[in-house]
Amino acid sequence: MDVMPKWADAILIPLISILLAFAISGLVILAIGKDPIEAFRIMVTGALGSSYGWGFTLYYTTNFIFTGLAVAIAFHARLFNIGGEGQATLGGLGVALVLLAVPWPHWSLALPAAILGAMLFGAAWALIPAYLQAKRGSHIVITTIMFNYIAWALLTYLLVEVLKPAGQQSPESRRFGPGAELPGLSDVLGLVGIPFSSAAPVNVSFLLAILACYFVWLLLWRTRLGYEIRAYGHSETAAAYAGISATRIIIIAMLISGALAGLMAVNAVMGAGRLINNSVENAGFIGIAVALMGRSHPVGVFLAALLFGFLYQGGAELALWASIPTELIVVIQSLVILFTGALDNMVRMPLERIFLAFRRSEREG
């Protein structure tokens, strides 16, 4: 029996958890001798006060939507994919190879190819851990962590030894051609007459991310496959009795998850115009916080990604204006993961008691 109404479970508990996380973050800022209210003000002006700030916020949001969806879809199959970082790294490689191989005449042709490259490479990097989990029972958490490290080593090797043009110092690929340049969000908004900063990195991938949210929702709640993934996540044995193959679900869910994580490279690599080392910038890990906070629902993921986009851009501003290191955001991220993920019951148990007491008094009264 549900002790709590659905809205309390979906909104109230995450909200309380996040407030707890932010309250402690405020204390951390106090503890290092800064003013949390002033810090918050700087973050809001820096991230949301101008269309330039918004441009960065939405750029980060785009990354986090993809990696958040990646973790979320795996969560639905009760798989914990910590490998978003590695899958996105490989996605970046896929994008770069596609864009370097062909002198693309126009971005509208390059974009679908880049999307395909990102999804394919991201999914491929998730395939081996998925196979090992499904067939050999090796824990996917451990294998995906290992694959992150292998991905970093592989990319560093390729950048230094293969992709770096001769005579260049920094380990970066050469620039993609002008035909692979994504239009910025300012170009899109300009079509409908909305002025927007053209200096910020947000580009059409943001729209792609919103589309991805819709497709993930469609897949999970409107298709047979989505139903099977959720059924498997709820109860492995019940799913087995219903004739749902565990191997198939694990592998498909992880392939989709890896492809989504890889897609973030369309924003971060194609948007940047070349492949650099560590273009993922922890977005794969932030996806964990985003999925937990968003309760693995695409709408929740979108909102959580927006919040983290704000935190990321705001955090950069804090480093600039208040000399608080950007690691503050890592702390906030860890607290969000801790409270919405691991300490869920700490918030849930007292709330359930309150709701029970309410019901009892209603019945008696």
Q: Tell me which residues touch another protein (CB under 8 A).
A: 28, 32-33, 80, 82, 128, 132, 136, 138-139, 141-143, 145-147, 149-150, 153-154, 156-157, 160-161, 285, 288, 292, 324-325, 327-335, 337-338, 341-346, 349
For residues 195-230, one letter each, b for 16 or more C-beta atoms within 10 angstroms of the residue's C-beta and e for the rest, the string is: ebbeebbbbbbbebbeebbeebbebbeeeeebebbb
User: In the bound complex, what is the minimum distance in angstroms from residue 65's beta carbon to another protein?
Assistant: 20
Nearer to another protein, 8 or 335 (CB): 335
Nearer to another protein, 138 or 245 (CB): 138
Cα distance between residue 359 and residue 210, in whole Å = 40
Taking alpha carbons only, the member of 210, 207, 249, 206 closest to residue 227 is 249
Nearer to another protein, 86 or 122 (CB): 86
Nearer to another protein, 51 or 279 (CB): 279
User: In the bound complex, what is the minimum distance in angstroms from residue 185's beta carbon to another protein?
Assistant: 30
User: In the bound complex, what is the minimum distance in angstroms from residue 322's beta carbon to another protein?
Assistant: 12
User: In the bound complex, what is the minimum distance in angstroms from residue 277's beta carbon to another protein?
Assistant: 11
In which element (H, E) is residue 194 found? Answer: none
For 47-94, the three-class secondary structure string (H helix, E strand, C coil) is HHCCHHHHHHHHHHHHHHHHHHHHHHHHHHCCCCCCCHHHHHHHHHHH
3-state percent breakdown (helix, strand, coil) of the chain, nearest 5 = 75, 0, 25
User: In the bound complex, what is the minimum distance in angstroms from residue 334's beta carbon to another protein?
Assistant: 3
Q: What single string gives the DSSP state of each residue in 134-188?
A: III---HHHHHHHHHHHHHHHHHHHIIIIISPTT--SS-PPPPPGGGPPPBHHHH
Nearer to another protein, 207 or 342 (CB): 342
User: In the bound complex, what is the minimum distance in angstroms from residue 253's beta carbon to another protein?
Assistant: 17
Nearer to another protein, 180 or 328 (CB): 328
Cα distance between residue 276 and residue 273, in whole Å = 9
Which class for 306: exposed (0-12), middle (13-18), buried (19 or more C-beta within 10 A)?
middle
Which class for 336: exposed (0-12), middle (13-18), buried (19 or more C-beta within 10 A)?
buried
Nearer to another protein, 239 or 347 (CB): 347
User: In the bound complex, what is the minimum distance in angstroms from residue 187's beta carbon to another protein?
Assistant: 36
